[in-house]
Chain A
Amino acid sequence: MAHEPQHVEQHFHDAANVTNPEHAEHHVVSPAQYALVFATLLACTALTVFAADINLGVFNPIIALAIASFKGVIVILFFMHVKYQSHLIKTTVAVGFFMFLVLVTMTLSDYISRAWGLW
């Protein structure tokens, strides 16, 4: 991250990115907010069990994974504090999940095209 931050006067070289204003902020998430996330996670768990009992055909797995993804996202944002982290951390997390999706997509593309037209 050896870039020159735009907001600093350019009379010294900030190679270590020390003056990044994001560093100065340190957010402590309150217990009330944790409790809200906790209640949401429990409610989503009940919802996904309930939804699994209804026959929604092809949408059953889609809904189950959508609820799981929502739960995962709020765990990452609040329990793991990513919402309050610097852009570096946010980008790192996003890149990790995006990279996983790229790998899944490319592997599935390979899989689906091996016997093209035969399925």
Chain B
Amino acid sequence: MDSAIATTHVDSPGPGAVEQQHEHVVLPQHRHHFATEEQQRESGSFGMWLFLLTEIMFFGGLFFAYLLFRNWYYDAFVAASNTLNIGMGAANTAILITSGFFMALGVWAAEVRKKNLLVLFLVLTTVFGCAFLGVKYFEYKEKFELHHVPGASFDVSQFIHPPVDANTGKPVGNPLPPDAAQKTQMFFFLYFAMTGMHALHMIIGIGLLFWLLARAQRGDFTAGYVAPIENFGLYWHFVDIVWIFLFPLLYLINRHPLAH
């Protein structure tokens, strides 16, 4: 960063009218190819949003695949979806929202130039992000133990002969014919593809958080230059939004299947 030289920097005369219209304070983060710091800031946000739009398209393809396959293999999707643990999914939603809340507070702390608060909020963002991945680990582990991972070792028996619930004495779901039961693999394939791709985004995000933490500790973002914190916040909140849609689609909407 070239913040050391900035105090002696004198703004070069541009189009005269522009200079007169604005109180033109030269900030250290202001790069010379931007007319004003505000323009630089907006360009950064604009670029970040363009990246996030490509992410919408990327996850959108997966969401669309889920929509279509759920339509094709409705009974299999209902049976497979109802093996997921709503409690864990809901807890993870709350954990991720909390992580996002601390990220938002981190942006505020950077804006008002409170270095220690910024570091604290970034640490909390990271901790809750890791907690999310921890819960996800236990969910994935259960899938491996039940042989609910699509592939050669996939076990359809639970869907052909649903186990009897100890409390009610009734089977936990409607038995599926063997060919339909095989289609539960499609649900689990999409489950792992969507939650896995989401988790990968979180792992990348946590890596970036460690980098931001080191720089925040150095005081890089609490002297007026908040763009990296703000743009990372956009990324982190986007990952939140993906999960906000994954949770109801994968865990919730198949609890009361339509008769047909």
| Chain A residues at the B interface, C-beta cutoff of 8 Å | 8-9, 11-14, 16-19, 22-24, 26, 28-31, 34-35, 37-38, 41-42, 45-46, 48-49, 52-58, 60-61, 64-65, 67-68, 71-72, 75-76, 78-81, 85-86, 88-89, 92-93, 95-97, 99-100, 103-104, 107-108, 111
Contacts and interface: CB of A to CB of B under 8 A. Distances in A.
B256 interface: yes
Contacts of B38: 23-24, 26
Interface of B: 15-18, 21-22, 35-36, 38-39, 41-42, 45-46, 49-50, 52-53, 56-57, 60, 64, 67-68, 86, 90, 93-94, 97-98, 100-101, 103-105, 107-108, 111-112, 230, 233-234, 237-238, 240-241, 244-245, 247-249, 251-253, 255-256, 258
Given A17-B39, A72-B244, A100-B56, A45 B93 contact: yes
B57 A100 contact: yes
A58 B260 CA distance: 12
Given A72-B244, A86-B42, 8 more contacts: A9-B17, A11-B17, A18-B39, A61-B248, A64-B253, A80-B237, A89-B49, A92-B53
Given A29-B108, A38-B97, A72 B64 contact: no
Dominant SS among interface residues on chain B: helix
Nearest to B117: A31
Contacts of A103: 57, 60, 64
A115 B56 CA distance: 29
A85 B38 CA distance: 11
A89 B45 contact: yes
Contact of A79 (B22, B100, B111): B100
A60 B45 CA distance: 36
B100 A75 contact: yes
A60 B255 contact: yes
A18 B238 CA distance: 29
B42 A88 contact: yes
B137 to A, nearest CB: 21
